[in-house]
Structure formats: C-alpha cells, structure tokens
Amino acid sequence: MLDVETLDHHLFMRQALQDAEAALRRGDLPIGAVVVHGNRVVGRGSSTRNTSRCHITHAELNALLSSSEYLREHHDDCVVYSTVEPCPMCLGAIVMWDIHHMVFGAFDYRAGAPHMVERVPYVAHHIRTYLGGVLENECLGLIRQYSEVDADIIQGKVHPFRTPPQLAP
C-alpha cells in the first residue's frame, strides 16, 4: 500500500519541472508531469499543445500515455505529479486510470479541478490524495517566463474570458 506522505514531493516536482522547462524551450506552455511508482519515475510528459497543434496534448495526458503499459499493472500505487493543477479533462483521465494520488505545484484558478474532487462522488471515490502548492513559486515562474497573462489567469488575477486591461504607455 502506497504511503504518499513518505515520498519526496520536491524531488518529483523537480522532475516535472524539467519537462516543463523542455516545453518552454520548444515554445509550448511550460507544464510538465511525471508518473511515479515507488521512488521511480515511470512516465513523463509535457504540454505539446502548440508544437503538436492539438488542444488536448496536456502534460498529464502525455505522461499517462507514456506510462500506459506500466499503469496496466501498477496504477493503484502510482502518483501523478504536475507543475500545474490538472484541468477537468486531465483529472478525468487520472480517475479513469484509477490513479488515486495527485500532487501539483501551482493552483490553477482558471481551469483547475478541485471542485470535481469535492463535489463529484465518482471522482471523490477515486482521488485519495489531492495535494497542491509543491514548489509553487518555481512552477508559476516558468509560466510567467512564457506569458505574464497566462500566469495571471492561472493565479486568478485576470478572468480568462475577458480581454485583459490595456496598460497605458
């Protein structure tokens, strides 16, 4: 039985940050994710939305896909680490893989899915650990390098469906 509290969350979030940095270098939104079993990374992914021109190639989905063979046998004892809180689509994929533990860096006040964990019984039944804020400043820093506006949206400072205010010169 997995004891999530014994894992080195900073170590694995740094692994996810490496994938986020690779995404930034490629010109993609710098979000990274790793799938961990025991003390070993068994899957990795980063956002490839821009370079793949596909809106569903989020870091968490790419990490799950890269570890799909492994997850068939070991999903119960895996943890997904992501630099940003998962969106409803990614959380749904984690639930469908029957992975019970999610750890993330930056809270996403735009698309994060905490209310799904709290209010949807099916999701609440599957997700046993939903821990955020691990290396949050480092995770947000990468987003800010990519786009100040995206960082402000994730932090809830700007509404994502309104045009941000223009600053006077």
Active site residues: 60
- At position 66, the amino acid (one-letter code) is S
Burial of 47 (0-12, 13-18, 19+ CB in 10 A): buried
Q: CA triplet 98, 44, 88: central angle to 5 degrees?
A: 50
Cα 130 to Cα 21, 58, 73, distances in angstroms: 24, 19, 22
Q: From CA 130, how far away is CA 116, in angstroms rounded?
A: 11
